Amino acid sequence: MSVVDVAKGGTSIWLDDLSRAKITGSDAHSLPSRIAHSGVVGVTTNPSIFAAAIAGAKEYAGDIAAMKNADVDAIVQKLTTDDVRAACDLFKDIYSATKGKDGRVSIEVDPRLAHDTAATIAQGKQLWSIIDRPNLMIKVPATIEGLPAITALVAAGISVNVTLIFSVKRYGAVIDAYMSGVEAATNPGHVHSVASFFISRIDTSVDALLKKDGSDAATSLLGKAAIANAHLAYQLFEEKFSSERWRKQIDRGAHKQRPLWASTGVKDPAYDDTRYVVELIAPDTVNTMPQSTLDALIDHGTVRGNTITPNYLAAVDVLKALSALHISIDSVTTELEIDGVKKFAQAWNELLDNVKVAQQG
């Protein structure tokens, strides 16, 4: 079974989706079923997921009605933290069995705070306190302002999922921020972290530039940038977590910050719908995937073992070939970070609007 093969390869399967219907089992793809039968060992959320989950869903009507006179931000916080807490409880056995490595559920700080370090830290601590579950992860964007927030939260003993990572260079800064937090933490063994490296959006952006070029050289590179970029990120992960700096923290019980492959739903129908899973298998990784990708993996995914570490040189060649066509991966990833923060902020505003409509209904 492909999901078993993924786990054997060292990649944990998390689901990039959450709703009250999934938690209670009224959804056809309920979390209890996915945990029992589909190898799902964690969940990630984001503003877009919550906006879609709450829009018109009857499961939230009672809570919204009970808070009819409350501020809409307070209602959103109540709805989302209740869902995440309930999901944490569903995964508590996996959390215990894996000694905290898996069984994780992530919730994101308000994306409108992406460029406000102090506010991100404050809300991260607030969410950690409200949800009050050891298997929670607080999602913090990998903006320049987010980096010191990562350090501060980890130092405070809070597990962190760093999101919206696109470039290998920024990923290196994220690892350094995590290590700084571990070094400052009283009990680093209590903290776990993942670094969410986004995949499909890179191919979408680079492929558009390649198609505009139209040459044979450009055409031969279609669909190669995102996976190559991720392979080089994993190479950096191996280097950083075999360094002398990190070895000093191992004796203190510290845990590696695992790479998490995010945005793994294929956006171009011309590509195999499991490619961002089967081409990213290696030890100490996580793949958080939408329901459609998980279904495709179960149905016809072919896992070939470790598909990352044998391909470092090939990944370098891809980026060199892109550079020869005057396509800068650094420029692409910079724009993607800006756009990613903007889209999550828009989704958060959509979430607020959806709740306002329900509140007034």
Q: Which of the following is catalytic: 78, 101, 139, 240?
A: 139
What's the pLDDT at 153? 98
pTM: 0.96
Domains and CATH numbers, the chain: 2-354 (3.20.20.70)
Q: Tens of pLDDT along the chain (361 residues)?
A: 589 999 999 999 999 999 999 998 877 678 998 998 899 999 999 999 999 998 878 899 899 999 988 999 999 999 999 999 999 999 999 999 999 999 999 999 999 999 999 999 999 999 999 999 999 999 999 999 999 999 999 999 999 999 999 999 999 999 999 999 999 999 999 999 999 999 999 999 999 999 999 999 999 999 999 999 999 999 999 999 999 999 999 999 999 999 999 999 999 999 999 999 999 999 999 999 999 999 999 999 999 999 999 999 999 999 999 999 999 999 999 999 999 999 999 999 999 998 888 887 6
Helix axes 72-90, 47-54, angle to 10 degrees: 100
- For residue 97, the tally of other CB atoms under 10 A from its CB is 12
139 is catalytic: yes
Rg (Cα) of the chain, in Å, rounded?
20
Residue 117 near residue 146, CB atoms below 8 Å: yes
pLDDT of residue 1: 55
DSSP string computed for 140-179? EE-STTHHHHHHHHHHTT--EEEEEE--HHHHHHHHHHHH
Tally Cβ neighbours within 10 Å of residue 257. 28
pLDDT of residue 361: 66
